[in-house]
């Protein structure tokens, strides 16, 4: 997209911000929902970036939530070194998060930055490339280890291991200590994509625990399946005041996006 086109798009959004739709930018929506829930937009709010990769999410978080307490989890050694090199403003943890603590086997995958867990300790690896053993813990253990009473946002992008991460957060979810979950998923037909968790499985897991879908975000479109992959944002619905919210600015009272913290 050329610079003039980007400028026109930005101007259009600013002039029409009262009609911004959900699902345009996950971290704009997350900021808006945290504001609507009465959560502080400073270091008292905690974000876990599970599957931090090269810091792409960290940059997006800092754009919309510059002052939150951000923790990035990336267990694969070579990817973690590259994450360190970009120096995100976050606490970095070279450990994976899963359903139980211990170790897990990862492979590099078909893309050099898309390593994923292919087996828990004792299981059989099924991936591509040389396997690497990495340490894993649970979200519940991390909250205790870091002395954190709650987690405002749990972002998960772990190439098909998302439900395992959620199982490892069961105590926090059950005791109402997580507000928002942003998770990568498969939406619709699988096509050539098989490793991602279907969105239906994530919804089936979280809805009985008090979460509801807030928005979907398309990551890529492929000719054989339509939406290749994307993300779903789910929130504790009881956090928001009753009513209908047509877009982010409805939560903010129609006064625009609060950029000051």
pLDDT at 5 over 80: no
The Cα-based distances of 187 to 164, 199, 229, 250 in angstroms read 19, 6, 6, 27
Contact 185, 231 (CB under 8 A): yes
**pLDDT-based confidence at 188, cuts 50/70/90?**
confident
pLDDT at 261 over 50: no
pLDDT at 15 over 80: no
Which pLDDT tens digit goes with each residue over 175-185?
Answer: 999 999 999 99
Which pLDDT tens digit goes with each residue over 82-139?
Answer: 999 999 999 999 999 999 999 999 886 655 455 656 555 444 445 556 789 999 999 9
Q: What is the mean pLDDT of residues 158-174?
A: 96
* Whole-angstrom distance, CA of residue 228 vs CA of residue 168: 27
Q: What is the pLDDT of residue 3?
A: 65
Q: What is the mean pLDDT of residues 243-249?
A: 81
Q: What is the pLDDT of residue 259?
A: 39
The full set of domain ranges for the chain reads: 22-101+137-251
Question: What CATH number should be reported for the domain whose range is 22-101+137-251?
Answer: 3.40.50.150
Q: ∠ at Cα 200 (54, 207), nearest 5°?
A: 95
* Whole-angstrom distance, CA of residue 28 vs CA of residue 250: 13
Whole-number average pLDDT of the chain: 85
Q: What is the pLDDT of residue 2?
A: 61
Q: What is the pLDDT of residue 220?
A: 84
Sign of the torsion formed by the C-alpha atoms of 166, 171, 172 and 177? positive
Q: Is 138 helix (H, G, I), strand (E, B) or coil?
A: coil
**pLDDT-based confidence at 249, cuts 50/70/90?**
confident
**pLDDT-based confidence at 251, cuts 50/70/90?**
confident
Q: What is the pLDDT of residue 258?
A: 43
Q: Which residue, chain included where needed, has tokens 């897991």? A: 205
Q: What is the pLDDT of residue 201?
A: 96
**pLDDT-based confidence at 190, cuts 50/70/90?**
low
pTM of this structure: 0.86
Q: Where are the alpha helices (DSSP H) in 153-258?
A: 162-167, 170-174, 199-206, 248-251
């Amino acid at each position: 997209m050329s610079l003039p086109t980007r400028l026109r798009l930005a101007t259009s959004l600013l002039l029409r911000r009262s009609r911004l739709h959900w699902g345009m930018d996950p971290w704009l929506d997350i900021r808006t929902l945290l504001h609507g829930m009465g959560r502080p937009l400073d270091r008292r709010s905690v974000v876990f970036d599970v599957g931090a990769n090269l810091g792409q999410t960290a940059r997006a978080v800092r754009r919309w939530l510059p002052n939150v307490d951000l923790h990035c989890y990336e267990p694969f050694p070579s990817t973690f070194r590259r994450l360190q090199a970009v120096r995100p403003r976050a606490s970095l943890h070279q450990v994976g998060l899963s359903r139980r603590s211990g170790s897990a086997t990862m492979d590099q995958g078909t893309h050099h930055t898309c390593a994923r867990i292919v087996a828990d300790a004792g299981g059989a690896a099924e991936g591509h490339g040389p396997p690497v053993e990495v340490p894993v813990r649970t979200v519940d253990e991390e909250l205790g280890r870091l002395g954190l009473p709650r987690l405002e946002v749990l972002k998960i992008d772990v190439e098909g291991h998302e439900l395992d991460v959620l199982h490892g957060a069961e105590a926090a979810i059950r005791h109402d200590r997580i507000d928002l979950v942003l998770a990568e998923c498969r939406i619709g037909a699988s096509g050539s994509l098989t490793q991602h968790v279907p969105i239906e499985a994530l919804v089936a897991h979280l809805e009985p625990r008090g979460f509801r879908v807030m928005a979907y975000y398309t990551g890529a479109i492929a000719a054989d399946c339509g939406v290749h992959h994307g993300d779903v944002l789910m929130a504790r619905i009881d956090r928001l005041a009753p009513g209908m919210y047509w877009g982010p600015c409805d939560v903010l009272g129609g006064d625009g996006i609060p950029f000051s913290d």
